[in-house]
Chain A
Amino acid sequence: MTAFIIIAIASLAGALFFRSEQRFRAAHPKFQAGAYLKWLGSRIKGFFSASFFKRCVSLWDGWVGARYPGWLKWIFFAFAAAFLYLAASGLIYAVFIRRGMFGLPLLAHVMGGGVFALGLAFIMLFRARAYGFTPQEAAPFEAFACPIFKNIPKEMVVKALFWIFAVLGFVQIVTALFSMLPIISFNTQVTLIMIHRYSALGLVLTAIVFFDAAVLGRPASPRT
């Protein structure tokens, strides 16, 4: 468990730093720690500004509205809300609470898991086609001609992230489901829970990068 805590903190901090540093470099070609921290502070301060909520709504309307029209929007909303709660409760209890998750948060986590599973299934049914690779993109050796990410088109990264998210989500659902069934021995169940935990971490990291690349990265596009 200690290993998971260290990995979780390090990877989350790394992902956040990596993505923020990329954005910092877009405006400041030369990286300076002081300038970076100042920039980061101003961005965080921006979260508490009056316009932040409006920008979020605008982002939601733009990105989600374009991809999930009509009632699908609400399915996506439920899915996103469930995912945010699952990620927050799961990580907070795994990292900070030695006892692990218990009580009402656990009950809500289980319920949220159901919403997440159904939401992901709907997204897969309705949006998977949009994230399919084109024949050109399917030429992986060309695309992965290192260094990684730099030579890969952003559209392909977003698509890959979508499928990674889907696979990890599937692992989450299966590990949760099987650990509830009286067919798995205790030792196997412990392994399943550990897989669930690391898969969840991967899911969160994928979601962060996806959000940064697909949602914040450029203006909304109806086809990505």
Chain B
Amino acid sequence: MNRIRHSRSAGRFLPLAALAAGILATTLVSTGTASDGRWAGSRSPAVHRIPLKDTADQKIIPTEKNPPPFSTRFTCAPCHVYESIATGRHFNAFSPTAAAGRPGEPWVWLDERTGTQIPISPRTWPGMFNPADLGLSAWDFAVLFGRHLPGGGPAEPEESLETPGSRWGVSGKAEINCLACHNAAKTQDHSEWARQMMRENFRWAGTAAAGFGEVGGMASRLKGTWDPADGPNPDDTEWAVVPTVKYDPALFDSKFQAFFDLAYPPKDRSCLACHSNAPAGSRKFDFDEDVHTAAGLSCTACHRNDITHDIIRGYEGEAADNPGLVSSDFTCRACHLGEENKKGLGGSGRMGAPYPYHKGIPEVHFERLSCTVCHSGPLPADEPARIRTARANRLGIFGKADWSTDLPVVVEPVYRRDTNGKLAPHRMMWPAFWGELEGGTIKPLRPEAVLSSAGETLFPERAVIRVLTALRGMSERPGDPVLVIDGKYFEQNLDGGLTVHPVSGEATPAEWHFAAVENGKVKPYWPEFDPAEAEAAAEPEGAIQRVLEALAAMAGAPGTPAITYKNTQYRLVEGALEKTERKDPTADESSWLWIKDESRLPMLTEEERNAAATLPGSEHRLTESQVVSVLKSLAGGKAKNPVYISGGKLFRLDEKGALEAAEHQATAPVAWPMAHQVRPARQSLGWNGCTDCHSATSDFFFTRVESRGPLLTAKSESAAGVSFMDLSNPYHRLFGLSYLGRPYFKIVLAFAAFLIGAVLLAALVQAVGRISGLIEKRK
């Protein structure tokens, strides 16, 4: 399966390989180790000095011309059963027989330009889209998410799953990247993996990421007919460069065996390449580790696996979800409460894990709450915190470009029912996408289809950037051109977008305008002047002329640039500044204009200005007016009943063509339970008493959960946290209020108990006195 044609003769190194395999096999049989999963008992790790094999199971000679990338399937195969590993949790998402288990983090199909963020999972998790339902093939999936895939699975599909339009023949398949987790060498580079996957160098990605060699070229630029057997194209060494490997000869011995610096179990840094997360906007300096990590535990101390790589997720009930799991002893409860019959004998759980006494906490909490409610994630606040995760926000890919994305907005903690019915802290996001409403169901539209239909509507900053680019060509430029709106200025950034800053510097006109910024100070292009005073106006009018000259040179200018200033209109006529008085300028008329056929057009439309003024620097990507425009353009195209989903609402055009928000089940947020970061016991909920949660204004119950989405709108949903718990809001307000009197209540109970106890004691003394005859004797 998955054999890739190769140019080299198959039997060239067969005798040598067979000999090596034979020796290894003999050794393994005698020690009973990895090949059959049994452990002979040695805790000393095996040194892996082994030959690299290619996808034709041929030993790689690194010094030969155009050596192929190495194949984990064949390099690791003599000792480790690849097919068994391929059933592991990281690789089996697309397998119909794999246990889905409780929901986990989805992949998010993100297209910021169209405001698309679709949670996807091949597993049957509620609210998440199956890739097949969206028309995503294994190829699409590998291209979209290869950056954080560990190889195997969808990146190495069976031939029956290779769909038309895919380019597996060119890219090769990304085999399970064993070294992504097991390479202890600091040269293991996840960023390199991501780059190679984005270049569609699937076959080469593992070799490049491991640091075994340099990989050049881009399979994505090659023709679909290219085959590795064709080799490099000597006629194109600039653009469509064939992927090649240049191995580091220092890594090989004289027998061309490479030393693998392996980590078993994997190091945390390997896990964190794909499983990092951090509060949005936080500083690295402020970030505290999970308490278990800080105590010296590694990820794999709990998330263990055997040769099947069916990694323990560690939630309660996992064994029922996945009967084949090697152990269910690594939940919070299993480690901290110890074995059921020992009840934390000696005051500790597994390996001396602190045994929780949970003093004063009623039993109901343990029946209805997961441990993580009180112990994991950020403490509840007036609103859930934004979190950025490696897979959703493309973290951990380092380079000159910033690969990370602001979207999707994921928030935590939102307390919801887990699959076992207990409350658990969840991460949550709201799907956002364009779609067609058909018979009550919404079929999502692919972002490229929306883009082609919407045209410039989704690129409002382009009009601003065109003007800024033109102004950059101005002679005697006083600084970098910026757009000033509402006390903020917007400058072009390296990504072709706009970056927003607050205005500081000279006072600027209230209305929107272009200006220059130098050393962070905004300066108008011309100072205040009176156009009627010719001598004083000469210099400012010179500046206006230079601005107009720069704008006139703008590519694709829709007309002649003009500027109005204090009832005076300036424009260029045959290279000279024409100055005309405007007696009745309307109040809302723009100062920066295009004049086309004597009609005056604002240099930026209201939609462009709104988008420019409100979207940069925010978590939003679309304005309502943009959505209206796109819905109209989609309706005018092939889409039937086009809608846009964002922020927990469905948006569509009403009969008058205005935007209306509606409810629909497809708008519901998607949530998945979280377990990290675990906080120390002293920072757990309840440590300070019941009122950590039970008060009339408790953040635990009454945090405001705002539905978040790419659309800037006031129509988004907002709900109290308690509504996600399937609990009654008024009751918990009342219950919380009762805690105002709880201390007094305890005093009353203690007082009553004291009185009753005193009377009982007196009666007892009297009874004993009577029975013993002492009282009668005294009388």
Contacts and interface: CB of A to CB of B under 8 A. Distances in A.
Interface string A152-186: 00000000000100110110011011011111111
B360 interface: yes
Contact of B759 (A102, A124, A181, A189): A124
A107 B360 contact: no
A166 B753 contact: no
- Scoring B356, B731, B753, B763 by chain A CB atoms within 10 A of each residue's CB, the highest score goes to B753
A186 B728 contact: no
B756 A120 contact: yes
A176 B362 CA distance: 11
B755 A124 contact: yes
A47 interface: no
Interface string A75-112: 00000000000000000000000001011100100100
A35 interface: no
B520 interface: no
A186 B364 contact: no
Given A128-B759, A169-B756, A176-B749, A190 B770 contact: no
B759 A114 contact: no
Nearest to A120: B756
A95 B748 CA distance: 29
Nearest to B358: A186
Given A173-B752, A177-B753, A187-B343, A110 B362 contact: no
B771 interface: yes
A113 B731 CA distance: 19
B753 A117 contact: yes
B734 interface: yes
Contact of B770 (A135, A180, A189): A135
Interface in B735-779: 735, 738, 742, 745-746, 748-753, 755-757, 759-760, 763, 766-767, 770-771, 776
Nearest to B754: A121
B766 A132 contact: yes
B724 interface: no
Contacts of B759: 124-125, 128, 166
A179 B756 contact: no
Contacts of B358: 185-186
B65 interface: no
Contacts of B255: none
A170 B359 CA distance: 22
A181 B763 contact: no
B749 A167 contact: no
B756 A124 contact: yes
B357 interface: yes
A61 B510 CA distance: 84
What interface size band does chain A fall in?
35 or more
What interface size band does chain B fall in?
35 or more
Contacts of A176: 749
A57 interface: no
B45 interface: no
Contacts of B362: 179, 189
A138 B774 CA distance: 13
Contacts of B757: 170, 174
A133 interface: yes
A193 interface: yes
A135 B772 CA distance: 11
A161 B746 CA distance: 28
A131 to B, nearest CB: 9
B758 to A, nearest CB: 9
A174 B173 CA distance: 70
A183 B363 contact: no
Nearest to B357: A185
Contacts of A182: 359-361, 689
Nearest to A100: B364
Contacts of A170: 753, 756-757, 760
A140 interface: yes
Contacts of A183: 359-360
Nearest to B771: A138
Nearest to B687: A182
B745 A166 contact: no
A100 B368 CA distance: 12
Contacts of B364: 100, 102
A118 interface: yes
Contacts of B746: 177, 180-181
A163 B360 CA distance: 30
Given A170-B756, A186-B363, A133 B767 contact: yes
Contacts of A102: 364
Interface string B675-709: 00000000000000100000000000000000000
Contacts of B749: 113-114, 117, 173, 176-177, 180
A223 B660 CA distance: 79
A174 B771 CA distance: 28
Nearest to A118: B752
B363 A166 contact: no
A194 B75 CA distance: 62
A184 to B, nearest CB: 6
B39 interface: no
A166 B760 contact: yes
A189 B746 CA distance: 16
Contacts of A110: 738, 745
Interface string B309-320: 000000000000
B13 interface: no
Nearest to A190: B363
B366 A186 contact: yes
B752 A120 contact: yes
A48 to B, nearest CB: 34
A173 B753 contact: yes
A10 B110 CA distance: 63
Nearest to B735: A107
A186 B356 contact: yes
Contacts of B776: 135
Interface of A: 100, 102-104, 107, 110, 113-114, 117-118, 120-121, 124-125, 128, 132-133, 135, 138, 140, 163, 166-167, 169-170, 173-174, 176-177, 179-187, 189-190, 193
8 contacts: A100-B364, A113-B749, A120-B756, A124-B759, A166-B759, A173-B749, A177-B746, A180-B746
Given A176-B749, A189-B361, 18 more contacts: A107-B731, A107-B734, A114-B748, A117-B748, A121-B755, A121-B756, A132-B763, A133-B770, A135-B770, A138-B771, A166-B759, A166-B760, A180-B746, A184-B359, A186-B358, A186-B359, A186-B363, A193-B363
A-B CB proximity, top 7 nearest? A182-B360, A117-B752, A185-B357, A186-B358, A138-B770, A121-B755, A121-B752
